[in-house]
Amino acid sequence: MNQNDIQKAIESGKTVLGVEFGSTRIKAVLIGENHAPLASGSYDWENRLENGVWTYHLEDVWTGLQESYRRLSSEVLEKYNIPLKTIGAIGFSGMMHGYLPFDRDGKLLAPFRTWRNTMTGQAAEKLTALLQFNIPQRWSIAHLYQALLNGEAHVAEISHLTTLAGYVHWKLTGQKVMGIGEASGMFPIDSTINAYDARMLALFNECAEMQTMPWKLQDILPTVLVAGDAAGVLSEEGAKLIDPTGSLPAGIPLCPPEGDAGTGMVATNSVAQRTGNVSAGTSVFAMIVLEKALSRVYPEIDMVTTPTGKPVAMVHSNNCTSDLNAWVDLFQQFTQALGVEVSQAKLFETLYQQALAGDADGGGLLAYNYLSGEHITHLEEGRPLFVRTPESRFTLANFMRVHLFSSLGALKIGLDILFDQEQVKIDQIFGHGGFFKTKGVGQKMMAAAMNVPVSVMETAGEGGAWGIALLAAYLRYKVENEPLEAYLVNKVFASENSSTIAPDPTDVNGFMAFMERYKKGLPIERAAVDRLR
């Protein structure tokens, strides 16, 4: 699109806005008719550990949304010399799972408990046994059931249970709805009818702890929608929550709110069977769209869905780059102490590139990046650790390499179940997220860990905000009976460029050697959790 066409599109509302509430950043992306980003705005935020709970304050949700939209609007005016006064469609996405319970008056009954919390082990274990379906600790139903088991008084007052994306959508439209991918991280989905599994709902409602509750589970969960369904329109109050200046009008249609897993699948064109993607940032998760059901329940594997309801095997690790980022920050402090000006971007690139020069196995070094608990390795809390023996080859290159390896350690344990035990087949894996930002490095490490070629698209940096914008565009521009898969292939990714790195056998063998060390050293991490309080 040329400058004149873009100006006309902005003026006539032939644009789509996508906003994603990530773990460290709220990002807004405006796309045009060709689905390419026109402008963006973002706001940095961080979770807080308060009274032993990882949480965000809800006022920060609105501060971040308004600031992201303000920055996006300013960029539109600066780049195209035209104010942003209307939008064709909007979509909201956020970190999946967690616990946001509200009473009938819309009052939050407990602080937002995010996906990062590992306080629901008892509930997850009991529910997995009851439903014969893996219920991870971070799922909304696990948080709800744990609150029931704990006898928390607020549970009886719940009128509406939702997630971060569902909360934002509700406040902007008045609609208590949710995209099926996001809903599949609250409670198990029956993909044959694209709704919550009725048998499992009944089992939950029949459990002893529910007998004194004045509600049934289906009464407090959001209504499930699939990609392309209408999910309400922006209300007058909602418009002002996004843009307090009053320039944004009400009445704009919204697509169903989705989770970061679903938007990652869309942003990487990984919604068809035998495709997959891996999102690596604060956390890391791999999503594989299945051809058939797994042979049994695995506690390391989550079963969720695509935004259209197809079954997806998800391997999720709570910890990825947070500890690595902390080490890079330490090096940044060192350069500042020397009086040397080095940008953060340059420092990341330099240190990541060092990893390529390291020994294949990381020189015998060992690291655990557990800032929080890790369910795959059965640790309810985390203690970041770096360990070496006198014989380890302690170089900067090995140090960086082993921390990149460690970012994928827990993920690898879950992936081995899919690829080795279940013989799941995939045709392509796409990577996205901050782990892949330095060209070729994270991609090469991921290829070694997964032992499959890993591709990264030129648009990978746009991430989930672009993914939810594509879902909003699908709502607005799809033709009748056009599947999401076809829309993405033919209208979004037809001319998309990507780079692919195949696994290097030396790297694969090196990662395998690292993983043997990683598994043997887990008792060290357990001792740190038990002893360092």
Q: If pLDDT is split at 50, 70 and 90, which confidence band does 434 have?
A: confident
CA atoms within 13 A of residue 69's CA, in its CB half-sphere: 26
Average pLDDT on 459-474 reads 85
Q: If pLDDT is split at 50, 70 and 90, which confidence band does 243 have?
A: very high
Average pLDDT on 193-208 reads 97
Q: If pLDDT is split at 50, 70 and 90, which confidence band does 459 have?
A: low
CB 470 within 8 A of CB 226: no
- Does residue 460 have a pLDDT over 80? no
Instruction: Give the orientation angle of helix 198-206 with respect to helix 121-131, to 10 degrees.
Output: 120
pLDDT tens, position by position, 372-382: 999 899 998 99
Query: So what's the pLDDT on residue 254?
Result: 98
Query: So what's the pLDDT on residue 425?
Result: 87
Element (H, E) at 3: helix 3-12
Single out the residue of 65, 91, 39 nearest to residue 469, CA to CA: 91
Average pLDDT on 514-532 reads 97
Q: Domain-by-domain residue ranges, the chain?
A: 97-162+187-220, 322-406+506-531
- Return the amino acid letter for 394: F
Residue 224, phi-psi category: left (phi > 0), alpha (psi -120 to 50), beta (remainder): beta
Neighbour-count burial for 173-182, b at 16+ CB within 10 Å, e otherwise? bebbbbbbbb
Instruction: Give the orientation angle of helix 322-337 with respect to helix 344-355, to 10 degrees.
Output: 120
- Does residue 495 have a pLDDT over 90? no
- Does residue 116 have a pLDDT over 90? no
Average pLDDT on 293-316 reads 91
Q: If pLDDT is split at 50, 70 and 90, which confidence band does 293 have?
A: confident
Over its C-alpha atoms, the chain yields an Rg (Å, rounded) of 23
Average pLDDT on 317-329 reads 95
Alpha helices, H only, 388-504:
396-406, 409-416, 441-450, 463-477, 484-487
Could you give the percent of the chain with pLDDT greater than 90? 85
478 burial (CB, 10 Å; 0-12 / 13-18 / 19+) is middle
Average pLDDT on 288-299 reads 89
Measure the CA–CA gap between 181 and 204, rounded to whole angstroms.
21
How many CB atoms within 10 Å of residue 413? Answer: 19
Q: If pLDDT is split at 50, 70 and 90, which confidence band does 461 have?
A: low
Higher-scoring residue by pLDDT: 460, 452 = 452
Query: So what's the pLDDT on residue 163?
Result: 98
- Does residue 424 have a pLDDT over 80? yes
Q: Which fold has domain 97-162+187-220?
A: Nucleotidyltransferase; domain 5 (3.30.420)
468-to-121, 139, 158, 230 alpha-carbon distances in Å: 31, 21, 29, 14
